[in-house]
Structure 1
């Protein structure tokens, strides 16, 4: 699998972690977010903490891609993307091979995962339970984005 340079900006349902979890006892609007997050601006994702002391500033960023049958294969495929992240952030970036969607969400919620590619199913859980902030989807050089599902069946079924 070859990832072209133009895909870096729209790599795939990547999300940034809102792992700077903080209790929002005075939160007027939370929506479906967990009680440790607040959505005061109503954009359906967790707001960043307003207290600078509650912001995370990891020296090493951890990146994960949605669980697959053989995660070791993806470590090599993501190497150019990880190198790019290191260049643009000035930080070390480590690939984390997750074993399940729930493990990926929990790693982000606990602050051990900072940037991740979630598949469509667990994305709402990542947003609501882990403070994830979606910012990109899979894209191609031809301007198409996302995934397409094709279902084939017998006409009389």
Structure 2
């Protein structure tokens, strides 16, 4: 597998747009979520109902830290709470974890001021910038020191298709045999679980996954897609190396049943972002905590070794893929007249050119 630099290869996306059909994002699941303190858990109201209760940021006395739903809350809480506790102690104010049932739950929480800062994926961060006033200030560093990760296609080791795939060329097999396969993405706001495989596996090959497969589902989290494969509920699903590494610890029997059949180019590692309108002195304290926090016993279970300074431009390659998806959707819109369509395409191509410049 050619693991070319994601930044370079994503810039080629525009070359594959003509005639390509890509599955549009579907509505995520419920955004009902939970916020948990260091020693207790409280049920939160649905995010959409909280905006009127949001405190002015000048009156912030505690912080809510959003955590995207890469796996079940039962698995996430034990590894996140020590970090949340450390942040609370360092900042000198209560910090509570905000767990949602979908990526969109965290985005909406930030949008309405219920989430002040969050761990996000690249795609969910771009959405949070657009609608939730998010600003990245840090980037995760893996245990091996890398600043990126890989999207996967996975299948069950006992699935007959394993014997027909060589050298992790499962993308080719999936394309050629899609009508006979069941397939699972995880969340439409996921980078590795949706956006990256949507481009590298489907868009580049002029395949519309919504129409290609015998059955297509969105399973929710990376953990859910992994278990769907392990339990033979779907033939092929998306995932990534970090989530499968976690699965080795949380469910080793399930991990043993999973075979990786395709690996993407490297994806920029995850952003940590806060709302832009947080007080500047609080932003500085938050930055200081993240940039200097090195406790291996706490970061290790999260599969990280450190956080490094980062800014919004780090995730421009994700934006390029997102703009490309929008271009395809406009091209396929039969209800838009020619003049309006051309105007919109010109605007999107200008945005793409600006990013690549």
Question: Are 1:65 and 1:98, in contact at CA under 8 Å, matched by a contact in 2?
Answer: yes
Q: TM-score, normalised by structure 1?
A: 0.58
Residue of 146, 153, 156 corresponding to 2:169: 153
- CA RMSD in angstroms comes to 2.2
Alpha-carbon offset, residue 70 of structure 1 = 0.8
Structure number with higher helix proportion:
2
How far apart, in 2, do the equivalents of 1:57 and 1:146 lie? 37
The alpha-carbon deviation at position 63 of structure 1 amounts to: 1.0
Please list the CA deviations of residues 56-106 of structure 1 after superposition, one character each: whole Å capped at 9, or x if unmatched.
442121112111331122111012211121122101111111111221111
Unpaired stretches in structure 1, ≥5 consecutive residues: 1-53
Change beyond 3 A, Cα 1:91–1:125: same
1:115 to 114, 117, 129: 117
C-alpha distance in structure 2 between counterparts of 1:89 and 1:155, whole Å: 46
Aligned to 1:85, the other structure's residue is in SS state helix
The aligned runs of 1:129-144 (5 Å cut-off) are: 129-144=131-146
**Residue in 2 aligned with 1:79?**
81
**1:98 maps to which of 97, 100, 109:** 100
Q: Give the total of aligned pairs.
A: 104
After superposition, the Cα gap between the structure-2 partners of 1:69 and 1:122, relative to the gap in structure 1 and judged at 3 Å, is same
From the superposition, tell whether residues 89 and 149 of structure 1 become closer, same or farther in structure 2 (CA, over 3 Å).
same
Q: CA separation of 1:110/1:149 partners in 2, compared to 1, >3 Å: closer, same or farther? A: same
Question: Following TM superposition, by how much is the alpha carbon of 1:122 offset from its aligned partner in structure 2, in angstroms?
Answer: 1.2
Give the structure with higher Rg (CA): 2
Residues 60 and 91, structure 1, Cα contact 8 Å, conserved in 2? yes
8 A contact 2:98–2:106 mirrored in 1: no
Alpha-carbon deviation of 1:145? 1.4
- In structure 2, what is the Cα distance between the partners aligned to 1:107 and 1:56? 18
Q: Offset at 1:118?
A: 0.9
Structure 2: runs of 5+ lacking an equivalent:
1-55, 154-167, 174-357
Which structure has greater strand proportion?
2
Give the 3 Å change call, closer, same or farther, for CA 153–84 of structure 1 in structure 2.
same
8 Å contact from structure 1 (residues 137, 146) kept in 2: no
Distance apart, 1:133 and its partner CA: 0.9
